[in-house]
Amino acid sequence: MKIGKQTLKLENTPKLLETSSSVGPKEADGPLGNYFDIKVNDIFFGEKTFEKAETKFLTTAINNLLQKVSLQNDKIDYIFSGDLLNQCIASAYSVRDLEIPFFGLYGACSTYVEGMILASILVNSGMGEKIIYSASSHFCSSERQFRMPLEHGNQRPPSAQYTVTGAGCGLITTSKIEKKAPFITYVTPGKIVDLGINDMANMGAAMAPAAVMTILTHLEDTGRKPEYYDAIITGDLGNEGSEILIDLCKKNGVDISKVHTDCGKEIFDTINDRDVNSGGSGCGCIASVFSGYFYQKMKEQKINKVLLVATGALMSPISINQGESIPSIAHAVAIENEVN
């Protein structure tokens, strides 16, 4: 049921039954290393190319999810998946062997929550009972596709972010399933926002306004205050974008500083590790950090009410070279241990 401007209340409260995550060496060595399901020391994951490695990170995360819930792939109704690679090949080649009806998504780094929203809507409306959503990214495949050949060894400005090597996925099921798990209560799909930023080394600044718009709309639509949530978790704004987010929210009379956290800031040690500059980014950032870390915290009831907000920068190197700015989007989903 639609409430307010653009939020949907999911009356049948689908469950996020289980999640799964896989990450590369740098992420495994970071502050959240203990929380990921699968940690791989080899950035190539035994493959010959970075693209095939990314595919394997995603495949491994999905297969691990199926194992965790003891389900064969033929029990899954649909899978939603997307990634950053041209033509989303990590998703296509991962899903190829699963024989699950597939909806391909492109939402840049917002894909993880875009998939979660669509999976939840389908389950809520009885169109499926078990639906997987997933997303991935890889530092090396992204770097050479969006920026420079790795061999170039280019320096990056402090506002730049470091693409996470990893994947994450989750299984949305009907609330009838008895196992205790968090519920998806509300979803707020986002609109595109573009304030004219065209610096591909400052994605946080480009994406923050989209996050502001979606968070404010969600709070207004649901009548909730920021403090209602134990955590408002953004995907990959990094240090720079997170500051802008909090500032812009304050200017709109909403203080989210006490509950805000960002997966891009959490996954790496942005103070001591100069490599990562402003923090993590990529579809795999929120995918691995939420699936690994925050979902675990929800299961332990350390946090019980979460607003998960994934931001995406919808440009390409070609559009930027042609003088365009960066259109951004943010999708939000409310995940809660108890339903009122």
Q: Cα(12)–Cα(133) distance, rounded to whole angstroms?
A: 19
Phi, psi of 331 (to 5 degrees): -110, 140
Nearer to its own copies, 314 or 334 (CB): 314
Q: Least distance (Å) from its own copies to the CB of residue 316? A: 4
Residue 47 near residue 157, CB atoms below 8 Å: no
In sequence order, what E strands does 109-253 have?
130-137, 162-163, 166-173, 183-188, 231-234
Residue 27 near residue 292, CB atoms below 8 Å: no
Residue 181 near residue 16, CB atoms below 8 Å: yes
Nearer to its own copies, 124 or 296 (CB): 124
Name the nearest CA neighbour of 59 among 34, 32, 83, 86. Answer: 83
Map tokens 């939402």 to a residue.
107
Tokens of 32: 């959240």
> Dihedral, CA atoms, 26, 256, 82, 35, nearest 10 degrees?
40
Nearer to its own copies, 132 or 298 (CB): 132
Nearer to its own copies, 21 or 328 (CB): 328
Residue 307 near residue 332, CB atoms below 8 Å: yes
Contacts to its own copies by CB under 8 A: 1-2, 6, 8, 48-49, 51-52, 77-78, 82, 84-89, 92-93, 95-96, 98-108, 114, 118, 121-122, 124-128, 189-192, 194, 312, 314-319, 322, 324, 327, 329
Q: Least distance (Å) from its own copies to the CB of residue 91? A: 8
Q: Least distance (Å) from its own copies to the CB of residue 58? A: 14
Residue 285 near residue 252, CB atoms below 8 Å: no
Nearer to its own copies, 32 or 330 (CB): 330
Q: Least distance (Å) from its own copies to the CB of residue 286? A: 16
Residues 6+ apart with CB under 8 A from 282: 84, 109, 137, 138, 139, 142, 163, 164, 236
Nearer to its own copies, 148 or 158 (CB): 148
Nearer to its own copies, 223 or 323 (CB): 323
Residue 238 near residue 279, CB atoms below 8 Å: yes
Q: Least distance (Å) from its own copies to the CB of residue 37? A: 24
Q: Least distance (Å) from its own copies to the CB of residue 319? A: 5
Q: Please return the burial class of 17, using the count of CB atoms within 10 Å of its CB with bins 0-12, 13-18 and 19+.
A: buried
Name the nearest CA neighbour of 27 among 68, 61, 67. Answer: 61
Nearer to its own copies, 231 or 326 (CB): 326
Q: Least distance (Å) from its own copies to the CB of residue 308? A: 17
Q: Least distance (Å) from its own copies to the CB of residue 300? A: 32
Q: Least distance (Å) from its own copies to the CB of residue 82? A: 7
Write the DSSP symbol of residue 144: H
Nearer to its own copies, 2 or 274 (CB): 2
